[in-house]
Amino acid sequence: MGRKIALVTGGSRGIGAAIAIRLARDGYDIWLNYRKDEEAARSVADTIQGYGGECKLLSFDVRSSREVNDILLPMLEADTPYAVIHNAGVTRDGVFALMPKEDWELVVSVSLGGFFNVVRPVVRSMLTKRTGRVVVISSVSGRSGQAGQVNYSAAKAGLIGAAKALAKEVARRNVLVNVIAPGLVDTDMTANAPKEKILPLIPLGRIGTAEDIAGAVSFLLGPDSSYITGQVIGIDGGLYM
């Protein structure tokens, strides 16, 4: 029996890269999606191959159903991933009253449009196989809201609702759907976050790492989580309670 496959969106850097590498260590082959940073994606692929896994690079914009379908549908005809981790996301922070429509549409379309475009065809294949795991990477901002992030909070809250509804739809086919909601994690995306203001709000007193998130994904894909679905797991050092 061959190695299981995990598809990771937004996998070239940050949390996505850490997830892909951790799952390769766990014994998965990886389908690694990225949009444009091919050099970073190839670096992740090299690391994955160092752990003995196969890594297929999938260059598409999750917002584009055409790009997703052109690359992903032929692959799904041959293989069905055991897991899909929808991690792709983007921020365009700003005061809502002054927010350009383009910033709203970009953030929402990457998170929610990407969820529809990527997760839907994979789940369709999983239902045929009667097994699978879906993990959606949301955010603490999607649970509590965050000033200056109305677009991002809306997109990440929408993912939570979508994942819970999907979990109810597919549970009878042994497809489990869960959400991870990271807090402040040390990645390129949070490089300009006001850490000095946020740190005092975190009971554990530290910023999270991408590996913290990857470990939870590993658990949700493993045998010890076979009775967990429709849940939101906060990995935020206690920021949201």
- Packing angle, helices 65-78 and 120-129, rounded to 10: 20
- Among 87, 32, 100, which residue's Cα sits nearest to residue 60? 32
Catalytic residue among 34, 152, 227, 240: 152
Query: Is residue 92 within 8 Å of residue 103, measured between CB atoms?
Result: yes
The β-bridge partners of 181 are: 234
227 is catalytic: no
Single-letter code of the amino acid located at 241: M
Q: Are 45 and 69 in contact (CB under 8 A)?
A: no
Contacts of 189 (CB under 8 A, 6+ apart): 14, 89, 91
Joined tokens for residue 93 = 């922070």
Q: What are phi and psi of 198, to 5 degrees?
A: -85, -40
**CB contact at 8 A, 88 and 138:** no
Catalytic residue list = 152
